[in-house]
Amino acid sequence: MARTRPPVVRLSDLALGQTADFFALLAERKNSTTRDGKPFFTCRFKDSRRSVSCAIWVDSKLFDDCSKNWREGQCYKLRATYGQSERYGPQIEIDQIRPVKDEDAADGFDVTEFFPKSRFEPNGMFVELWKIAETSIADEPLRKLVLTILDRHSDPLKRLPATQRHFYPFAGGWLEHTLSVTRTCLWLVNHYSPYYAELVPALNRDLVVAGAILHDIGRVREFDDAVPPQQTIAGRFDGHLLLGRDLVRETAKEIADLNPELAMLLEHILLTHLALPEWGSPRLPLIPEALILHHADDLDAKLEMYVRCLSNDAADGPFTERDPVLNRQLYKERSA
């Protein structure tokens, strides 16, 4: 009598003691040695909500395959039993394993489920960003420029991270970061316009909002369509500032009646939003609209890094482990 194939379930839905087929990402594979000198591997598999580990011993039927073929960052279909170790936490005992195939999509495999993503729904964020452009950019040609770019690149913009590793490094991160920066810029320009009512010419809200929405638009050329995205050759050579400036400049040629000076100032805002040469900007901000964007962008990026560092830290004591990007240890025991 043929054996009944276990159902395909989510790793994160497995119950203790359950044996099932599931898809998982190999997040970590470490080569180790026992006290008596025998080699083994410690592996960690994950989906978006659960991480499990397993040991592959030298006498396991899987040892050679693990040693020669298993790769971190690759997705696999496994048949395994889920358990819990008091010392090592969630565990699996693997019976069968193979790399995923195209036909696994019929069983529910979706590669995007195995990588971090924004807690906010991308379509909703995109609609809000679109509405801000529609309602807060009064200059019609400039508004058309922004909406044209958003429309042409809507699909990748909903998937892209803001960066690969530093801030918002997850699917939908570009949109979450850009929307947050745009909200902040809109508030700042609405606050400072009447505060500095004597400024001539007045703060240009259209420029601030357009610059906020497009400040990282170069990411659509810096990153490819892989999951997770990788830098393109152009991205490595030129970076997102120049790529974004070029994309805006190319699209601006299609927009009738776009004020050339306004287009030039928008390019300046994009190129200077990092503010300092050591951060990647070829020029310092020379207009107040660029200054507003720089500080809104810098605050949003750093605050996300702070929150992620504090949320993910497992170190004992009042301080986090040193964050390699922030180059500091954060204090965890703030008063509630």
The per-residue pLDDT for range 240-259, each reduced to its tens digit, is: 999 999 999 999 999 999 99
How confident is the model over 170-195, as a mean pLDDT? 98
How confident is the model over 84-112, as a mean pLDDT? 90
Q: In this structure, what token pair is assigned to residue 273? A: 């939003």
> Per the CATH hierarchy, to which homologous superfamily does domain 8-112 belong?
Nucleic acid-binding proteins (2.40.50.140)
pLDDT at 15: 92
Distance in angstroms (rounded) separating the CA atoms of residues 42 and 51:
13
Is pLDDT above 90 for 6? no
Question: What's the whole-model pTM score?
Answer: 0.81
How confident is the model over 40-52, as a mean pLDDT? 90
Distance in angstroms (rounded) separating the CA atoms of residues 288 and 292:
6
Domain range annotation of the chain: 8-112, 122-312
Q: 52 with 84: CB under 8 angstroms? A: no
- 122-312 belongs to CATH 1.10.10: no
Distance in angstroms (rounded) separating the CA atoms of residues 15 and 253:
58
The per-residue pLDDT for range 106-155, each reduced to its tens digit, is: 998 988 888 888 999 999 999 999 999 999 999 999 999 999 999 999 99
Q: 129 with 137: CB under 8 angstroms? A: no
Q: Work out the mean pLDDT of the chain and round it to a whole number.
A: 93
Is pLDDT above 90 for 51? no
> What band does 277 get if pLDDT is binned at 50, 70 and 90?
confident
Higher pLDDT, 278 or 143: 143
> What band does 276 get if pLDDT is binned at 50, 70 and 90?
confident
120 Cβ neighbours under 8 A, 6+ residues apart: 172, 176
pLDDT at 71: 92
